[in-house]
Amino acid sequence: MGINLNPFTWWNGATIGTWFGLRGKGRVGEDALGNVYYQGGSDTSGNPRRWVIYNGSNDASRIAPEWFGWLHHQIDDVPDRALPPAKPWQQPAVPNLTGTPLAYRPAGALGAGGKRAPATGDYEAWTPGD
């Protein structure tokens, strides 16, 4: 197509209106996926307004859990300062993979080949007239 639709389409990232709205707001941090977080002004309850600008497609499952808590005012300070360091056994958050080639497909699913284990001996097919 050759036209940059990003300034006009919300599903490809922040629109031009969002960028104008972020003027004067403070950038507070960035997560491991490259999403950038802003804070500034206040809402009708007096709480500070908080935003995320996604690095890539707008998908809420791509927000790290600690930043989700910050966005929803569950923690007051930036996660790097407010939360303890991650435990060595903790794994990084994974975005929702539904609709991608990496999505979970159990045995028997059409996307996984459609083959499933044969039924065990506890199943009897019903036939009419029995």
- Alpha-carbon span 70 to 64, nearest angstrom: 10
**35 within 8 A of 68, measured Cβ to Cβ:** no
Identify the residue with better confidence: 127 or 4.
127
Could you list the residue range(s) of the whole structural domain that residue 59 is in?
A: 10-112
For residue 2, name the pLDDT band (cuts at 50, 70, 90). very low
**73: in domain:** yes
pLDDT at 37 over 80: yes
Tally of structural domains, the chain? 1
Any idea how long the chain is?
A: 130
* Residue range 124-129: mean pLDDT, rounded: 83
pLDDT score of 88: 93
- Alpha-carbon span 76 to 99, nearest angstrom: 35
Identify the residue with better confidence: 117 or 64.
64
- Which two structure tokens, joined as six digits, stand for 15? 């629109």
**102: in domain:** yes
**123: in domain:** no
Q: Read off the pLDDT of residues 39-52 as tens digits, 9 standing for 90 and up.
A: 988 888 888 888 88
- Put simply, whether the predicted model's pTM sits higher than 0.85 gets the answer no
**82: in domain:** yes
Q: CB-based contacts of 28: which residues, under 8 Å, 6+ apart?
A: 37, 38, 39, 78
